[in-house]
Structure 1
């Protein structure tokens, strides 16, 4: 092992130990830390109106206040369902990597800490969907088939890029939503818990990417920089799931088309992706192809 590699491993271990210490000082048990006995308030939204996919459209203008709140309930259930899918996939990938890892290493211990966080988040999201009176959204068979293969394909920089795609966009939007006075108090608290714990996960993933920078071979760099080119289209499809509009009493396909063309929704996408886009540029992992993909999906101006 080279001197540079040894220093890199030592630095990664130091980051992991710092994050473990932070986890001890600030972690949550959503089953007891959220007030599940408090019923939803009938005049409050489950997501703030300004981030809903149809706000500013003719469809939105024709909706009653009650219909708008129902749409927010279904959009929230959809986003939390996507969050459960992603965190399930991330845990499966991390656990597969641990089969080859040093069980005494600080990086292994922090990875297991993160897996525990994500398990609690999945419980929290599932309970929030139930609490809201909505139903969870299910993955299509082709999404399940893809997800079953990914834990064996995601490696090194590619793993951490995909982790950030799943974490940072949601995190950025949550940060601008959690203090909104129109939001259901329990959902605001859920976002506070999630933002606090995801900050450590994002730091670990970003550190993993930057420490790999000096070791990346040409193939790893190519795959890591181009492999996320289609992620923007996937995220847009998941954010505008036609089924959530149907459950809100709308024409699902027509509403999804309207949402995808909605400049207000596009602005929210750009805000959600801005920090991650800047980081990927700094890390040398935004290629011409990936920029084109994210721009086509509406996440880059």
Structure 2
């Protein structure tokens, strides 16, 4: 599919921005397990924050909890970024590599690989380990990278990026958070702003002139993808590893209005964009409400 002429200047501007402001934190590790005296993320972003279980934990236990949780969050981010690359590189294999949008795509994939290395390094510096994803996420990841078409791929990844963007803006400026997470959050926020602009424009390009049926189906699939990402951020293995009762923890998370409020705040920019692009039909709205994202 050829690139719409009116979008080429934007892609060129994004590529120029990448030349002027990019980071590479490879080789910046200070040693594994050296940041146990800090939270893994801003405590208010813990799904358990404010619950009876949270209040029953000592401060060192709360720090350990947030380090385990953020390690899982970063693992989900890596999973999402790898899946995006598979989809987009497959769909752009053999196209004109001198097109402005394709050149920026190559730059984005380079960024995403460095982000994955950066997040893996942050997990190690926290002294934590990667938490395996559940089977539903693994299955949906396979379906996504195998069958997703352009606006669905960009929309699902945009949903994940918008959530991480809002969360990491908080983490990057919070002195309670481990330096490895603060550094990686700052880099991710700066570089993902370009990626999100790219994804939004690509979605506009692909939706131009499509049928009402395709727009409807795409809207629902993007909502389902966002739902899976949001629910996948809560991993029962984390809480069991810490000796917490999973059934109690799950009930408290599900009822935690603070947790819902934080995630609605995180997805507010996404919801505004989807509404503007007519990607919030009745079914999609119901899915976002079920995910506590609307």
TM-score computed with the length of structure 1 as normaliser: 0.91
Equivalent position of 2:269 in the other structure: 275
Secondary structure of the 2:65 match is helix
Could you report, residue by residue, the CA deviation over 1:20-68 in whole angstroms, capped at 9, with x for unpaired residues?
Answer: 1111111111114x45349634432111111111111110111001110
* Alignment partner of 1:12 is 2:7: yes
Deviations 1:140-185 (A, max 9, x none): 3443333223223221322221121121111112113321121112
Of the candidates 132, 154, 164, which is equivalent to residue 158 of structure 2? 164
Are 1:27 and 2:22 counterparts?
yes
- The SS at the match of 1:172 is helix
Quick one: distance in 2 between partners of 1:166 and 1:232?
Answer: 7
Task: Trace 1:45-64 onto structure 2 (pairs within 5 A).
Answer: 45-64=39-58
Match of 1:293 in 2: 287
Q: Which residue of 2 aligns with 1:151?
A: 145
Residue 177 in structure 1 maps to residue 176 in structure 2: no
For 1:128, which of 94, 115, 122 is the aligned residue? 122
The within-5 A match list for 1:78-227 is 78-227=72-221
Partner of 1:74 in structure 2?
68
Partner of 1:215, secondary structure, is coil
- Residues 158 and 223, structure 1, Cα contact 8 Å, conserved in 2: no
Which range is displaced more, 247-256 or 51-60? 247-256
Aligned to 2:254: 260
Aligned length: 294
Q: Which runs of 5+ in 1 are unaligned?
A: none
Could you say if the C-alpha distance between residues 98 and 9 of structure 1 is closer, same or farther in structure 2, counting changes exceeding 3 Å?
same
Q: Secondary structure at the match of 1:119?
A: helix
Which moves more between the two structures, 212-221 or 111-120? 212-221
Task: Give me the whole-angstrom Cα distance separating, in 1, the residues matched to 2:153 and 2:70.
Answer: 27
After superposition, the Cα gap between the structure-2 partners of 1:38 and 1:136, relative to the gap in structure 1 and judged at 3 Å, is closer
Alignment check: 8 A CA contact 1:96 1:151 kept: no
Cα RMSD for the two superposed structures? 1.9
Equivalents in 1 of 2:143, 2:90: separation in Å? 12
Deviation at 1:267, TM superposition (A): 0.9
The separation in 2 between residues aligned to 1:61 and 1:113, in whole angstroms, is 45
